[in-house]
Structure 1
Amino acid sequence: MYPVTDLCDEFSDKLQILEPMFTDFGGRLAFGGPISTVKCFEDNSLVRLALEEPGAGRVLVVDGGGSDRCALLGDNLAQLAIDNDWAGVIVYGCIRDAEAISQMDVAVKALNTHPLKSNKKNVGERDVPVRFAGVSFMPDDWLYADLDGIVVSASELAL
């Protein structure tokens, strides 16, 4: 994993850089991999379905519409991410079980925490383009993240 600052120094013309609005909640702080997306609003059914699949080092990008009314990921789903080899999860929304997740070997970035679980109505979309934090996320683009920020590239980068 390359430091995001080094990637920005070398490839700034090929990167989209997310606006700095995310907080680290997982025990792993640096991660990267190809993107898979979920677009949902206050319903994490598709987040669970995605994390139940083999992650193969991918990053799950969840566009929760920035909602601060419930959580889209908790410790059970974080454990699924670990068990199924996901590199990390970015949630444009809230998570819960933050203390437990902070002790887990998983990368999780989100806007905030909320104690209420989400709806379960199987509403949302998988592997569609999503946009938030000033960046467009396309399935199979690459995401790199660490304590300095998050960047997205159309392809894998190497220094």
Structure 2
Amino acid sequence: MTHDLPEQDLPLTDLPTTDLSDLYPDAPVFAPVFQEFGGRPRFTGRAVTLRVHENNPLVREVLGTPGEGRVLVVDGGGSLNCALLGGQLGELAEQGGWAGVIVNGCVRDTTELRGLNVGIRALAVHPRRSGKATTGERDVPVTFAGVTVRPGDLISADEDGILILPPHAHDPA
């Protein structure tokens, strides 16, 4: 359904990405490489970024802080060697009030993840857990799936895709 209302008349959280893409034709759109794993198919929020490689203690640390409706964007380098997010971290995200998590890598415990009220996107599933080295970077620009995400960018995701809204777009209500 296409909305013909001006953007200020309808909160962005109510608009599908197809309509947002029409409203903001220059908005960067993630390449369609992500699968949906969480129990919330639609989510919108400000980005918190991480860059990690096959180790997830930094993911746990960030998800242990109040999410306040934000979206954690994890650049795992596209590694398909282990999962950076599983059921326990998914529960942490839900309890902390995170709107969503986007992982450029793998997840596991998919049955548990689907039961959570948090949006979760990742490239694939992998049964192996990640390493536990406390390495990585937080609040840095990350580039993958054809887009660059900067801390504070407004991310919108639904069944049709994921995009980054322009700085002048309104915050979710």
How would you bin the TM-score normalised by the shorter chain? over 0.9
Query: Is 1:101 matched with 2:101?
Result: no
* RMSD value, Cα: 0.9
Measured in 1, the distance between the counterparts of 2:37 and 2:23 equals: 28
Identical-pair percentage: 49
Distance 2:167 2:92 in 1: 26
Larger Rg: 2
TM superposition shift of 1:100 = 1.2
Residue deviations 1:39-59, cap 9 Å, x none?
000001110000000111110
Superposed, 1:34-73 pairs within 5 Å as 34-73=46-85
Write out per-residue CA displacement over residues 78-132 of structure 1, whole angstroms, 9 at most, x where no aligned residue.
Answer: 0111111101000000000011111111110000000000001101001100000
Q: Which runs of 4+ in 1 moved over 3 A?
A: none
Q: AA paired with 2:123?
A: L
Q: TM-score, normalised by structure 2?
A: 0.88
* Structure 2 residue 25 is the aligned partner of structure 1 residue 12: yes
Count the aligned residue pairs.
157
Residue 146 of structure 2 corresponds to residue 134 of structure 1: yes
> Structure 1: 5+ residue runs without aligned partners?
none
Alpha-carbon distance in 2 for matches of 1:80, 1:100: 12
Find the counterpart in structure 1 of residue 90 from structure 2.
78
Please, which runs of 5 or more residues in structure 2 have no aligned partner?
1-12
